[in-house]
Chains A and B, each alone.
Chain A
Amino acid sequence: MEKTELINKVNEALAEEFEIEISTLIPDANIKDTLDIDSLGLVDMVALVESLFGVKIQAQEITSILTFENLYDYIYKNINGK
């Protein structure tokens, strides 16, 4: 999957799940602030990513995924690493 396609797919899913405007999802924005979620909401983001891409974000790795750019990179790397 091309990265642009991946980003679009992630953004569409996040906007729908967390009920926010897709335009607010910019690469260097903080995920928790933008999605207005706490650690519980992050669980739903992890589940969403796993259902969309089959990529499981490990609990010890989620702490290093702070921005959407971090998230796109993580998914991209793990899809291509499969």
Chain B
Amino acid sequence: MGIYSCLGKNLEEVSKSLYEGKSGIIFDRSRKELGFRSGLTASLETPNLKGVLSRNQRVYMAEQCNYAYLATDEALKNAKIDRDYLAAHEVGLLYGNDSSADAVMKSIDTMREKKDTTMIGSGAIFQSMNSTVTMNLSCIFKLKGINLTISGACASGSHAIGLGRMLIQAGLQDCVVCGGAQEVNPYSIGSFDGINAFSIRENEPEKASRPFDRDRDGLVPGGGAATVIIESYESAVKRGAPVLAEITGYGFSSNGDHISVPNVDGPSRSLQMAINEAGIDIRTIGYINAHATSTPVGDANEAKAIANVFGDHKPEITSTKSMTGHEMWMAGASEIIYSMLMMKNGFIAPNLNFENPDDDSVKLNIPVKRVEKIFDTFLSNSFGFGGTNSTLIVKNIK
């Protein structure tokens, strides 16, 4: 695993932030000057890869590729996969990404100003495509297996992992680099702000993202990148890899409904499919990492879906978005890592700002403080615009 997020620049930093229940949300005044309704955002330092990657590698990388490179470099090192191994094996790459707005905007600005497409430069086309992350990572790390971007809105990262697992199950790949990346620049989410989706609790940035709380008023945008290396058990054992966990279930569904308003049926089916596929008693699930983004309807409907599926079994449920904001295309992958770090270290990070339940969240077991708990299986939900749903179940391997 590897990660670069508002909670830290690597697994160790992120694990510490989770344990301490730290918020990565700030108020960014420059967004107000751009006409944003909300100036709230996750705080993320743009890495400087000069000296790490050559100019000819960096010139094709959009903002989110920088995060994805660092997350993937960390993940490969932790998985004990070096350049020699990558050169000798067909390691795949499935990464969630669903925009590259900053690069698109800059190239269009240049075209309008200069009226000369040469002036856009050589990097823009490779930065502007949704597949910018996979095209760059595959060239930098010299990957030779499947090479594909998954664009499934805010479930992109989760679907990437689920689909990678399917390729391994089918015997088509032994090892796949999976993950999700999300640009953080304001231009990428101005249109999202424009539909009143973001919290405007600007006077209390760290209290703005409040999944499941009665007084939630919208999400806070975040980003970064998260990478997990998934591999067949046989391949991992053969090369002596540190095996952390097993993905035991992947469920998916489409709401077949509204483009932005989630429902209960679609997520319920995704949850149930993952549980059925894992073939487990739901009582073995010790923690649920909810999709809950802090929007009024989304959180309520997810709470209903979880209550429907889990009935009397009430494991701790939190949304790590209370700390990170909504990491969108990255979220499905980053939340697997957050949950993994909690599972490996025996705790559940608090659902920040859950002060008062509503009629739906009152039925769930949502801790407001860190819980010290050993658990061996967790479930992670990711839902997106257009009604795309993804659920992963992961079991610890000690």
Contact = CB atoms under 8 A, between A and B. Distances in A.
B55 interface: yes
B118 interface: yes
B116 A56 contact: yes
Contacts of B119: 47, 50-51
A1 interface: no
B55 A19 contact: yes
A21 interface: no
B121 interface: yes
Contact of B122 (A36, A41, A51, A56): A41
Given A19-B55, A36-B56, A37-B56, A44 B116 contact: no
Interface string B99-138: 0000000000000000010111111000000000000000
A51 B59 CA distance: 18
Interface in A6-35: 17-19
Contacts, number: 29
7 contacts: A18-B55, A19-B55, A40-B122, A41-B56, A44-B121, A46-B118, A50-B116
A79 interface: no
Interface string A35-61: 011001101101100110000100000
Interface residue SS majority, chain A: helix
A50 B110 CA distance: 13
A50 B56 contact: no
Among all A-B residue pairs, the 3 with the closest Cβ atoms: A40-B122, A43-B122, A19-B55
Interface string B50-80: 1000111001000000000000000000000
A51 B118 CA distance: 11
How many chain A residues sit at the interface, stated as a range, is 10 to 19
A12 B121 CA distance: 19
Contacts of A46: 118
Contacts of A47: 118-121
Given A50-B116, A56-B116, A43 B121 contact: yes
B33 to A, nearest CB: 27
Contacts of B54: 19, 36
B111 to A, nearest CB: 12
Contacts of A36: 54, 56
A12 B109 CA distance: 26
Contacts of A41: 56, 122
- Residue from the set B50, B56, B116 with the largest chain A CB neighbour count within 10 Å: B56
A9 to B, nearest CB: 18
A44 B123 CA distance: 9
A44 B126 CA distance: 14
Contacts of A18: 55
Given A40-B122, A44-B59, A47-B120, 17 more contacts: A18-B55, A19-B54, A19-B55, A36-B54, A36-B56, A37-B56, A43-B121, A43-B122, A44-B122, A44-B123, A46-B118, A47-B119, A50-B118, A50-B119, A51-B119, A56-B116, A56-B118
A41 B118 CA distance: 11
Nearest to B51: A19
A50 to B, nearest CB: 6
A40 B122 CA distance: 6
A56 B117 CA distance: 12
Nearest to A46: B118
B30 to A, nearest CB: 26
A52 to B, nearest CB: 12
A49 B185 CA distance: 29
